[in-house]
Amino acid sequence: MTAMLTFDNVELYYDQIYALKGVSITLHEGETVALIGANGAGKSSILRAITGLAPLHSGQIHFMGERLDGTPTAEIVKKGISMVPEGRRVFPFMSVKDNLLMGAFTRDDKAGIARSLDSVLERFPRLRERFSQQAGTLSGGEQQMMVIGRALMAKPRMLLLDEPSLGIAPKLVQDIARAIVAISRDEKVSVLLVEQNSRMALSISQRAYALSTGSVVVEGVSRDLMSDDRIKAAYLGGEI
């Protein structure tokens, strides 16, 4: 497999406080990789570093063989990286349709945008039913489907997902998990998944990194980590 994303010994500070301490991770084409850990472990800081929202103190990030750190965020999106932020971040007074179309702001291929929109609505039928509704009137799970769909409208090569299960009803968490698997498979999109729901994250990813206080403490194949005593004790609440 070809390395799509490489983090090489990345350090990142917020006001002199370490957020990432020499973190190195790799994401290959076609992979779903999970980042698990408690609040403050550094998971979201990795996504902020990739998208240019947090400058590095040291280290390098490469995407498809090209240096990524220091690149403006808008250019990063054009390179094929889309992010679904924590907390959903919808435009509440805009319709579902207009929220989705905002994801295609870097594109000018009208026919392609229309095809992408049809594809998103086919993947998430609830959004078709609520196409003209204001986004703020949707349930939390429906909003999450919408922001994932909005990210797909950019036709990404890599999708960054920040806590997609946060605040979602358990049944819809399963729907979101299945959608992530299907998107990676059908759209040929690589996925970097930040998730506190470690059980769900490990069940739908191929590999995973567990973080604690800004450092990677365990890494490996997800199915192996599901039975790792360190992971079970720290992240899975004991026996599975």
- The mean per-residue pLDDT over the stretch 157-169 comes to 92
End-to-end CA separation in angstroms for the chain: 31
Q: What is the pLDDT of residues 201-231, one digit of tens each?
A: 999 999 999 999 999 999 999 999 988 888 8
The pLDDT value recorded for residue 160 is 97
pLDDT level of residue 194 (50, 70, 90 thresholds): very high
The pLDDT value recorded for residue 1 is 63
Q: Which residues contact 111 (CB under 8 A, 6 or more apart)?
A: none
pLDDT level of residue 38 (50, 70, 90 thresholds): confident
Domain boundaries, the chain: 3-235
Q: What is the pLDDT of residues 125-143, one digit of tens each?
A: 999 999 999 999 999 889 9
What would the DSSP string read from start to end of 105-129? TT---HHHHHHHHHHHHHH-HHHHH
- pTM as predicted: 0.92
The pLDDT value recorded for residue 169 is 85
- Residues comprising the chain, all counted: 240
Q: For the domain 3-235, what is the CATH code? A: 3.40.50.300
The pLDDT value recorded for residue 168 is 86
The pLDDT value recorded for residue 113 is 95
Separation CA 57–CA 9 (nearest Å): 10
The pLDDT value recorded for residue 99 is 96
- Looking at per-residue pLDDT, the higher value among 35 and 167 belongs to 35
State CA 129 to chain mean position distance: 25
Question: Is a pLDDT exceeding 60 seen at residue 238?
Answer: no
Torsion of CA 145, 151, 155, 161, to 10 degrees: -90
- The mean per-residue pLDDT over the stretch 45-74 comes to 95
